[in-house]
Amino acid sequence: MKSRTAENGDTVVIDFEGFCDGEAFEGGKAEEYNLELGSGNFIPGFEEQIVGHNTGDEFDIDVKFPEEYRAENLKGKDAVFKIKLHEIKTKELPEVDDDFVKDVSEKDTVAEYRDELKEQIAKRLESESERDLDDKLTNAIIEKVEGEIPEQMYDREAQNMVREMDMRLRQQGMDFDTYMKYTGMDANAVLEMYKPEAQRRVKMRLALEKIAVLEKIEPTEDQINEEYDKMAEYQGGSRRPARDEAR
């Protein structure tokens, strides 16, 4: 009994030989070649004409080489390929049952795993929505910043960002000099790379400081301690004491 015919997404094992004007051309022949149908690895029309054929079929396909084809002698030429289809390999997806779920997750049933995926997707969408809103608010605030800002403030912030980068690299077993060696960049190039974000940070900080003064916002000790904890976690160090602990 023959297997089903070839479909897009299948991998077929074929022999092929190409002819232009009745003559075989160099590079147009292969045996037992594995080709994924629909991958677009061959010239237009080649893979499409294999679809629908079955194992053991021998047939011709007619194609036209693109005008921009790499081989000068084949550009824009009509060609015939003789094909022999040896095998059709189909992709078999595993059955999604409780055993499969236990193998790929910490859940025991398909229903539990489905609920977990739904929750993850909902959280991701919510997070993306919040980030989008944050970006819009940040841009709106920055646009309101007026007055001349000293270039030195931008330079200092860019230098701070480079130091943060160096700290992260060291945590990964690399240092800033080694990073520059591998990337072919120098210190000035890295600073320039960070300049746009440094300007954004400075403007945002100035705007928030002004808002804090106008609204008479004073952070609580708990809020300060929370920020210190976040900074310590990010930098991989111990928490810096808040003002009441430092006295």
Rounded distance between C-alpha atoms, residue 88 and residue 8, angstroms: 11
CA–CA separation, 225 vs 72, rounded Å?
A: 70
| Cβ atoms of 76 and 66 closer than 8 Å | yes
Phi, psi of 237 (to 5 degrees): -115, -170
With a pLDDT cut of 90, the percent of the chain lying above it is 27
**Tens digits of pLDDT across the chain (247 residues):** 446 899 998 999 999 999 999 999 988 899 999 999 998 889 999 999 999 999 999 999 999 999 888 788 899 999 999 999 999 998 776 787 888 888 878 888 888 888 887 888 788 777 777 777 777 777 777 777 777 888 888 889 889 888 888 888 788 777 777 677 666 677 788 888 888 888 888 888 888 777 777 777 776 777 766 765 655 564 454 444 444 443 3
pTM over 0.75: no
The domains located in the chain, with CATH, are 11-89 (3.10.50.40), 94-143 (no CATH), 148-242 (no CATH)
Distance CA 104, CA 81 (A): 44
Distance CA 28, CA 18 (A): 5
CA dist list (Å): 23 to 18, 26, 67: 8, 10, 20
Pairwise CA distance, residues 135 & 140, whole Å:
8
Non-local CB neighbours of 231 within 8 Å, separated by 6+ positions? 240
Q: Output phi, psi for 154, to 5 deg.
A: -65, -40
Q: Could you read off the pLDDT of 82-96 as tens digits, one per residue?
A: 999 999 998 776 787
The pLDDT value recorded for residue 208 is 78
- Distance from C-alpha of 5 to C-alpha of 227, rounded to nearest angstrom: 63
* Helix, strand, or coil (residue 247): coil
Residue type present at position 230: K
- The H or E element that residue 36 is part of is strand 23-36
Per-residue pLDDT at 184: 67
- Closest CA relative to residue 84, chosen from 44, 28, 20, 32: 32
- Is there a contact between 33 and 14 (Cβ–Cβ < 8 Å)? yes
